[in-house]
């Protein structure tokens, strides 16, 4: 007996919608099995992991906080991957954005106006773009593999961050902790009340608002504009893209600057809200988890927004499972990895039909 794939005539639109759901379901089943193997009640564990984060207004706020960087980065990466540009150094671009944006409070700690906020956000975007520009340039000029260069830069920029907060940028009053001064006032993101106290209360910060705006803008670009058309063509048929007169080099630049800028924005938003200062370990791997967000969201900006919440739940669930069940929060990363595997496997079923051929030429068709 063996599994055999058969090409479909056209893409299966049903499968395209179902694939992420099937992947999530399979991940839950796998998770249940892992919990059971650890001697836990799988249903109770899954409840703690995936449902509890949705039950209190505090945890829903946390959900928004965690989903914001994932959505920002995931939407940008999704656009890039769709255009066949493989930026996997978002974690580094996030860090670079956080560093450059933090230069304002580090060098001008007294500056406390709206301009501070805008400058920090702007520099955050630019920081991400600058570090994303390096692999883009190397790809276009020397055809150096962008996957490897963008990833190497993650290590480089993290070491730069480490050096800065232990060296020149260290808070002189910080008892030798590796961190900059704490940010306050206009150096942090304002929050908005989206639900009144009677219903929550629920506060979200400016970062979440920006993430939604970015997602809407990218969705518009991909669906309605020639630019979106160009990116989609380049992803699936580079030769046809050249025939249409679209420049591959420009696309590489565009995708890296876009996804890098958004990663930088996510980075500066993190240090301006949750973290509150520049320090090592500003991100629990958002830049890498966003890769999963991009795929779970079908490389579609709106999809990335939805997927960001799904992944945010896994982060939160990991934390609460650690407290409630005494299992490692590292299981969250395992779930995330397993989820990506299942998505990729299910995605094959959009273009292919799965057949199980037995011995003697008997064919059983798995319709999907």
Partner 1 sequence: MEYLLEALDVTKIFGTLKANDGVTLQVKPGEIHAFLGENGAGKSTLVKMIYGALQPTAGEFRWMGKTVTIASPAAARRLGIGMVFQHFSLFDALSVAENIALAMPGTFDMKKLSGRIARVSKEYGLPLEPTAIVADLSVGERQRIEIVRCLLQEPKLLIMDEPTAVLTPQEADQLFLTLARLAKEGCAVIYISHRLEEVKRLCHNATILRHGKVVANVDPTKETASSLAKLMVGGDIHVVRAARKDGKGDVRLKLDHLKLQADGPFAVELKNVTLDVKAGEVVAIAGVAGNGQSELFDAVSGERALAKDSMLVIDGKPMGHDGVNARRNAGAAFVPEERLGHGAVPGFRLSENVILTRHSSDQKLVKSGMVQKGGAAGVSERVIKEYDVRKGKPDPEARALSGGNLQKFVMGRELDRKPGVLVVNQPTWGVDAGASATIRQAIIDLARQGSAVLVISQDLDEIFEVADRIAVISRGQLSEAFPAGDLSAEKIGLLMAGSHEVREGHHAARA
Partner 2 sequence: MNELLSIVLTIITAATPLLLASIGELVVERSGVLNLGVEGMMAVGAVCGFGAALMTGSPLVGVLAAIAAGVILSMLFGFLTLTMVSNQVATGLALTLLGLGLAGMIGEGFVGQPGVKLEKISIPGLTGIPFIGPVLFGQDLLVYVSLIIVAATSYVLFRTKTGLIIRAVGDSHQSAHALGYSVIGVRYLCVMFGGACSGLAGGYLSLVYTPQWVENMTAGRGWIALALVVFASWLPWRLAIGAYLFGTITILGFSLQAVGIGIPSQLLSSLPYVVTILALVVISGNRALTRANTPACLGQPFVPDR
Of the candidates 254, 280, 37, the residue with the CA atom closest to the CA atom of residue 179: 280
Does 184 bind partner 2 (CB under 8 A)? Our answer is no
Terminal CA-CA length for the chain = 19
Collapsing DSSP states into helix, strand and coil, what is residue 15? helix
Q: Show contacts with partner 1 in window 36-65 (CB under 8 A).
A: none
Q: Which stretch binds partner 2 (CB under 8 A): 64-72, 169-177, 225-233, 340-348?
A: 340-348
Check: CB of residue 192 under 8 Å from CB of residue 114.
no
Taking the complex as a whole, the smallest distance from the CB of residue 163 to partner 2 amounts, in Å, to: 4
Does 6 bind partner 2 (CB under 8 A)? Our answer is yes
Token pair, residue 335, equals: 């779930």
Q: Which of 29, 344, 356, 364 binds partner 2 (CB under 8 A)?
A: 344
Does 250 bind partner 1 (CB under 8 A)? Our answer is no
Which of partner 2, partner 1, none interacts with 328 (beta carbon under 5 to 8 A by kind)? partner 2
Q: Show contacts with partner 1 in window 196-225 (CB under 8 A).
A: 224-225
Q: Which of 13, 141, 173, 367 binds partner 2 (CB under 8 A)?
A: 141
Which residues, other chains included, contact 150 with Cβ-Cβ below 8 Å and sequence gap of 6+?
86, 87, 88, 89, 92, 132, 135, 256
SS (H, E, C) 53-93: HHCCHHHHHHHHHHHHHHHHHHHHHHHHHHCCCCCCCHHHH
Between CA 317 and CA 257 the distance in angstroms is: 33
Between CA 17 and CA 11 the distance in angstroms is: 11
Does 5 bind partner 1 (CB under 8 A)? Our answer is no
Taking the least distance from each CB to partner 2, the nearer of 72 and 90 is: 90
Q: Which stretch binds partner 2 (CB under 8 A): 62-70, 217-225, 252-260, 328-336?
A: 328-336
Between CA 307 and CA 296 the distance in angstroms is: 6
Taking the complex as a whole, the smallest distance from the CB of residue 223 to partner 1 amounts, in Å, to: 9
Between CA 29 and CA 42 the distance in angstroms is: 9
Of the candidates 350, 275, 344, 343, the residue with the CA atom closest to the CA atom of residue 310: 343
Q: Which of 240, 344, 356, 364 binds partner 1 (CB under 8 A)?
A: 240
Q: Show contacts with partner 2 in window 74-133 (CB under 8 A).
A: 81, 86, 88
Check: CB of residue 72 under 8 Å from CB of residue 212.
no
Does 3 bind partner 2 (CB under 8 A)? Our answer is yes
Residues that bind partner 2 (CB under 8 A): 3-7, 81, 86, 88, 138, 141-145, 147-149, 151-153, 155-156, 159-160, 162-163, 166-167, 288-289, 291-292, 295, 328, 330-338, 340-341, 344-345, 347-348, 352
Residues that bind partner 1 (CB under 8 A): 9-11, 224-229, 232-233, 236-237, 239-240, 242-245, 361
């Amino acid at each position: 007996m063996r599994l055999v794939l058969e090409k479909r005539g056209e893409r299966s639109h049903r499968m395209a919608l179902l694939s992420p759901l099937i992947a999530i379901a399979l991940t839950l089943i796998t998770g249940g099995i892992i919990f059971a193997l650890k001697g836990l009640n799988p249903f109770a564990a899954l409840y703690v992991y995936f449902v509890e984060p949705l039950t209190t207004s505090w945890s829903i706020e946390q959900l928004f906080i965690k989903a914001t960087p994932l959505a920002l980065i995931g939407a940008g990466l999704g656009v890039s991957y769709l255009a066949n540009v493989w930026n996997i150094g978002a974690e580094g671009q996030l860090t670079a954005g956080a560093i450059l944006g933090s230069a304002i409070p580090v060098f001008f700690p007294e500056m406390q106006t709206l301009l501070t906020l805008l400058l920090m956000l702007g520099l955050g975007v630019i920081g991400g773009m600058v570090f994303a520009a390096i692999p883009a340039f190397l790809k276009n000029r020397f055809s150096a593999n962008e996957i490897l260069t963008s990833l190497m830069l993650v290590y480089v920029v993290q070491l730069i961050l480490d050096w800065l907060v232990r060296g020149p940028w260290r808070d002189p009053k910080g008892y030798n902790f590796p961190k900059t001064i704490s940010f306050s006032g206009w150096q942090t993101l304002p929050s908005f009340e989206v639900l009144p106290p009677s219903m929550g209360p629920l506060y979200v910060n400016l970062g979440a608002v920006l993430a939604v705006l970015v997602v809407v803008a990218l969705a518009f670009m991909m669906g309605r504009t020639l630019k979106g058309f160009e990116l989609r063509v380049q992803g699936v048929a580079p030769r046809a893209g050249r025939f249409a007169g679209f420049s591959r080099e420009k696309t590489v630049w565009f995708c890296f600057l876009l996804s890098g800028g958004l990663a930088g924005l996510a980075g500066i938003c993190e240090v301006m809200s949750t973290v509150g200062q520049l320090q090592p370990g500003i991100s629990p791997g958002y830049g890498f988890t966003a890769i999963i967000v991009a795929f779970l969201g079908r490389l579609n900006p709106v999809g990335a927004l939805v997927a960001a919440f799904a992944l945010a739940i896994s982060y939160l669930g990991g934390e609460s499972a650690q407290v409630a069940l005494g299992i490692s929060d590292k299981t969250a990363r395992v779930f995330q990895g397993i989820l990506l595997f299942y998505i990729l496997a299910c995605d094959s079923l959009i273009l292919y039909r799965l057949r199980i051929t037995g011995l003697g030429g008997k064919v059983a068709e798995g319709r999907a």
